[in-house]
Amino acid sequence: MNVKLTCSRHEIRSTGRVVTDGSRCVQCGMCSYNCPSGIDVRHHSWLGRPVDDSRCLACGQCVARCPRGALTFTRLALFNEGGS
């Protein structure tokens, strides 16, 4: 998956974050295995929490690799005015 970024990771992370869906997750660990920052994304999913780790680059690897669609990048309601 090639994604061309036209904004910084700070900009992306201020508009959204990766959220987990426990009912789809089978704790296979593909997300943690492929996280370039070494975040244990799976653990966030186990706890049913969004990936609120400051090391998150919002690169989308975990979302793209999850074989069960358990991860989604969700926009935060805070700063998304005018966002597309």
Partner 1 sequence: MAHDVSTYVIVGTGAAGISAAQAIRQRDPAALITLIGDDPHGFYSRPGLAYYLTGELAERQLFLRQAGPFVMLTGRVTGLDVAGRRVITADGREHHYDRLLLATGSAAGRLPTAGAELKGVVKLDNLEDAREIVRRAGRGRTAVVVGGGITALEIVEALAARGVSTNYLLRSDRYWPNVLDETESRLVEQRLRNAGVRIHYRTQLACIFGKHGRVAAVETDRGERIKCHLVAGAIGVEPRLELARLAGLKIERAIATDEYLQTSAPDVYAAGDAVQESDDITHKPTLDTLWSKALRQGRIAGANMAGDREQYRRRVPFNVTRLAGLTTTIIGRVNAGPDDDLVSIARGDSETWRQLPEVMAVQWHSRLDRTRVLVARNTIIGAVVMGDQTLSRPLQQLIANRVDVTSIAERLRRAGDALSDAIIGRWLEWSHGTAE
Q: How far is the CB of 69 from partner 1 (least distance, A)?
A: 5
Q: How far is the CB of 2 from partner 1 (least distance, A)?
A: 19
Is the CB of 13 or the CB of 40 nearer to partner 1?
40
Is the CB of 56 or the CB of 66 nearer to partner 1?
66
Q: How far is the CB of 10 from partner 1 (least distance, A)?
A: 28
Interaction site with partner 1 (CB under 8 A) = 22-24, 26-30, 32-33, 40, 42-43, 46, 67-70
CB atoms within 10 A of CB 36: 10
Is residue 59 a contact partner of residue 74, using CB atoms and an 8 Å limit? no
Cα 50 to Cα 38, 39, 44, 47, 53: the distances in Å are 16, 12, 6, 9, 9
